Amino acid sequence: MIYKKLLSVFILLCLLFSVNSCREQEENIHQKINLATNWYIQLSDSIEGKGDFVSSSQQSIENWYRATVPSTVMGVLTANGVFPDIFVGTNIKDIDKTQFDKAFWYRNEFALPELNNNQHVSLCFDGISYYANIWLNGELIASKDSIYGTYRHFSFDVTPHVKSDNNVLAVEVFRARPGDPNTGFADWNPRPADESMGIYRDVYLSITGNVRLNNTYVKPEVNTETLEEAWLTIETEVENLTDQEISGDLVGEIESKEFSYSVTLAPYEKKKVKITSVEAAILHIKNPRLWWCNNMGSPELYNLDLKFKTDNTVSDREDITFGIRQIESYLTKEGYRGFKLNGKNVLLKAAGWTDDIFLRDTPESNEIQVQYVKDMNMNMIRFESFWGTSSNIYDLCDKYGIMAVVGWSCQWEWEAYYGKPCDEMYGCMLTDKEIDLIAQSFATQVLWLRNHPSIISWMPGSDMLPIPKLEEKYLAFLKESDNRIYVGAAKERTSELSGKTGTKMAGPYEYVGPNYWYIDTLYGGAFGYNTETGIGAQLPVLESIKKFIPEDKLWPLNDTWNFHCTTSTAAMNSLKELTTVINNKYGQAKNLEDYLMKADLVNYDGTRAMFEAFRVNIGKTTGIVQWMLNSAWPSLYWQMYDYYKVPTAAYYSVKKANLALQLIYNYGNNSIYAVNEQLKDISGYKAIVQVFDINSTVKEKKEIPLDIRINTSVNILQLAPLKENVFLALEILNQQGEVVADNFYCLSSKPDEYMWDKTDWVHTPAKSYADFKSLSTLKTVELDIQTNKSEEQDNIIYTVEIKNPSDKIAFMVNLKLKDNRGEMITPAFWSDNYISILPGQKKILECKVNKGTISNNNIKLDIKGWNSPLLEVNI
């Protein structure tokens, strides 16, 4: 008996050893070697040799600039100190752009392992801007006659050209010219001097056997009635690299369950293979873990390990992360597009993304920004371009449950940006060559990104529709390759091929008051799917401003400040509008600190109202996209956090506005609404409504039972007409009497009024402004502060207890966490900020900071409010 048990253990160990040995062997068959480091660049005029010499070991790299890839030339030169303080003042405009009219060389040396006769090496480029000659070991692999286009991928079989010892790759890069569909920033910021020339996405070597896999895709279908089952379809392209017929098996594994599918390939055949639950029963998933967006559930992800095996040898494999979810679209009775996720209506709460001006975003900086989006209780990002130096940004959207709409940018639709005459209906992609290039580029990007569950829609037009000949190509490709929602443009358009876009893009992009979003029924107000809109200037904190505005230019405002607005020649190119708003609403600023304090209140109230109005009108509204989320360089416009990753006042107002359960003041009808986007109905809760006069005297207090169904907005209280300026404090208490949401407003008895007949694409100008000048008379409130520090896994938690011991309201209290140099600590995730504290009230805030962010223990907390003097606390 003991013998049999020992024999069984011995056999089991042998089997495990055998399996592990096979796995080790399999891992060595296919390799992907990223060429990210050991790069150098140099201006072509500084090099005497041609490509054959530059790509040889004889080429000296003395005086070349060290680089990494992905990168642009400007990114590399800036990192090497060629352009110091480039963002300070107006320095960036002094760069001599003519130096980028010449080519730049990228050069890399790499080694390869010994290859056997059945292995093949492909040299792959995921993105080059814009033209390139590619040399390897003294030989021209491809020339700029065929290597052009920012959004194309290139792959070359270089098996005959590589060696097991030292290899030299040299890429001669040329910038885009006017009329080339390059990456760009429209009027959001200055154009990079090099036009983003460089190898801006990954370069890698793929080593496979005789059969190669390409473009593997997992397409899910969910039973949206029950959510209890789903079906997967796996598609992949299988390519025979030899002159012999090859038979083998596609072997896939999902969550330790395996399937096998036989494939035979003729010599050099490239075949698309589709496997459904009919061929592989494991692709019928019972009780799937669904991918949900932020605030609707968990963004669950799966993994597919797919490999092609012949004679027990793995020729190639692809590792695919995917999500199981169903995206559907509908048109409201008013003709606006809405979205369903797994059968449930979802209100899109989003903002528009941009990459860094020199395309220098890293996985670390991307993660901070996607975490910010989640922290603001938003659920989507609009990518007006196929942004990203890799797929990392979309990986993070998958991970954090942030939906994405992805498409081309408006800079290809206007002559001023594109550099050639354009059509007023269809933009600039008009010739057969342009149409073929962009259709191919679109297909490349879709194939690259289609496994990301976060991407819910392709939007190949912004301000305009694609010309029909181009749209035909888009639609024909998508019919065969992807089933996401296609929306022809961000603007309200009707295509003869794809029908109504169901979107609107009527502005505003410049300041409008909080009531605008409720009372406007023609333009950007709270109805439909507004794909880009905002209130204009959204200023950073002073600590950030001092990094790019020179000391002698800080006050009064001047052209240096204006230079850091947008580059639009029509509007939004100065702080004139913001200053007018401040002067009329709050009174002229006495100094820079006063100006920034008032600008923060403009920003907080204006941005919050935009999101809140779309939530109050849920059902009538389907989506709102703040223009923008972030900035490509140090900017004063359109941003929820600044270039240095420090949140603006808008950040915290949007976080407040988008709380799943919240009380909201409707500026349009002077009412209080309860909005519930939680995952359950609410009953037995209470709403507390308090109205104070400007002297902090309670004028009205009501306690209202709160029962509200999921995904609804309910008017719970009509306020009396405002005869004076008041403060409005709102709280929701759960069944245990705990505060689960709060909101606070300063309201004027004189509402903002508009010149509706003067509306243009920028905004609707004000006829008169709400008057808050009485805020300057608020009595000073001294706050009591207590702090505590604790640790939670990889984070430090700073707890701040703020008590208002006075009989006056402490208004717009801002907390800043700083290091021993006085620099803002980022990222720092505050539970709330820019808060107001009622007389006798105590509020407890938490700030979560990753331990790796804190370099020392000398951490300082600055606390300052509208009527509360600065407190500096060491914590």
Residue 857 has pLDDT above 90, yes or no: no
CATH superfamily entry for domain 31-116+124-176: Galactose-binding domain-like (2.60.120.260)
User: What average pLDDT score do residues 186-210 get?
Assistant: 98
- 201 close to 304: Cβ distance less than 8 angstroms: no
Structure tokens at 549: 């505005």
Residue keyed to tokens 């999921």 = 710
Burial class (CB in 10 A: 0-12, 13-18, 19+), 709: exposed
Q: From CA 646, how far away is CA 640, in angstroms rounded?
A: 9
The beta-strand segments (E) located in 485-550 are 485-486, 494-495, 499-500, 528-533
Q: In sequence order, what are the residues at sequence separation of 6 or more whose Cβ sits closer than 8 angstroms to the Cβ of residue 432?
A: none
- What is the per-residue pLDDT for 177? 98
Q: 873 with 785: CB under 8 angstroms?
A: yes
**Tokens 């010994």, residue located:** 114
Residue 675: pLDDT above 90? yes
Pairing of strands 712-718, 671-676: antiparallel
Query: How are strands ordered across the β-sheet holding 455-459?
Result: 485-486, 455-459, 403-407, 380-384, 348-353, 621-626, 528-533
Backbone angles phi, psi at 231, to 5 degrees: -125, 135
Tell me the H-state helices in 30-131. Answer: 51-54, 73-79
Model confidence at 555: pLDDT above 60: yes
Instruction: Read off the pTM.
Output: 0.96
Q: Supply the pLDDT for residue 29.
A: 77
Lowest mean pLDDT among 9-18, 104-113, 749-758, 846-855: 9-18
Cis before 288? omega within 30 = no
Q: Is 692 helix (H, G, I), strand (E, B) or coil?
A: strand
Determine the average pLDDT of the residues in 317-341.
98
Please state, as a whole number, how many other Cβ atoms lie within 10 Å of the Cβ of residue 281: 9
- Read off the pLDDT of residues 127-166 as tens digits, 9 standing for 90 and up: 999 999 999 999 999 999 999 999 999 999 999 999 988 9
* Sheet bearing 337-341, strands edge to edge: 327-331, 337-341, 344-346
Give the pLDDT of residue 22.
Answer: 44
**Dihedral sign, Cα of residue 665, residue 666, residue 669, residue 675:** negative
Partners of 204 in beta bridges: 34, 124
Please calculate the CA angle 535-541-545 and round it to the nearest 5 degrees.
100
343-348+363-407+504-777: what CATH class? alpha beta
Q: Could you tell me which of 75, 55, 57 has the C-alpha nearest to residue 65? A: 75
Helical pair 592-616 and 649-657, crossing angle rounded to 10 deg: 20
Q: Which helix (H) or strand (E) holds 597?
A: helix 592-616
- Judge whether 537 and 636 are in contact, CB under 8 Å: yes
Whether residue 210 has pLDDT greater than 70: yes
Q: What is the mean pLDDT of residues 614-636?
A: 98
Tokens 């992907």 belong to: 32
- CATH class label, 211-322: mainly beta
Count of Cβ atoms closer than 10 Å to residue 184 Cβ: 19
Q: How far apart are the first and last CA of the chain?
A: 68
Rounded CA separation 273/270 (Å): 10
Q: Nearest to residue 108, comparing CAs of 194, 32, 34?
A: 34
Tell me: domain 784-874, CATH 3.40.50.720, correct?
no
Segment 504-513 mean pLDDT: 98
3 state SS of 144: coil
pLDDT of amino acid 19: 43
Give tens-digit pLDDT for 245-295.
999 999 999 999 999 999 999 999 999 999 999 999 999 999 999 999 999
Q: What is the domain partition of the chain in residue ranges?
A: 31-116+124-176, 211-322, 343-348+363-407+504-777, 784-874
How far is 843 from 615, CA to CA, in rounded Å? 26
CA distance 378 to 623: 11
- How many other CB atoms are there within 10 angstroms of residue 303's CB atom? 12
pLDDT at 14: 45
- Of the ranges 18-32, 368-382, 543-557, 859-873, which one carries the lowest mean pLDDT score? 18-32
Judged by DSSP in three states, 487 sits in coil
Does the pLDDT of residue 505 top 90, yes or no? yes
Q: How does pLDDT run across 18-65, given as a tens digit for each residue? A: 444 444 455 457 899 999 999 999 999 999 989 999 999 999 999 999
d(CA 48, CA 61) in angstroms, rounded, equals 12
In this chain, the answer to whether the domains covering 211-322 and 343-348+363-407+504-777 adopt an identical fold is no
Q: Which residues of 212-227 are buried (b: 16+ CB within 10 A; e: fewer)?
A: bbebbbbbbbbeeeee
Q: pLDDT digit string (tens) for 102-121? A: 999 999 999 999 999 999 99
Cα–Cα dist 306/260, whole Å = 10
- Cα-to-chain-centroid distance, residue 115: 41
pLDDT attached to residue 15: 43
Residue 575's SS3 state is coil
Residues 6+ away with beta carbon under 8 Å from 856 = 819, 820
Residue 842 has φ and ψ, to the nearest 5°, of -120, 130
Torsion angle of C-alpha atoms 866, 869, 874, 875, degrees rounded to 10: -40
State residue 93's pLDDT score. Answer: 97
Indicate whether 836 pLDDT > 70.
yes
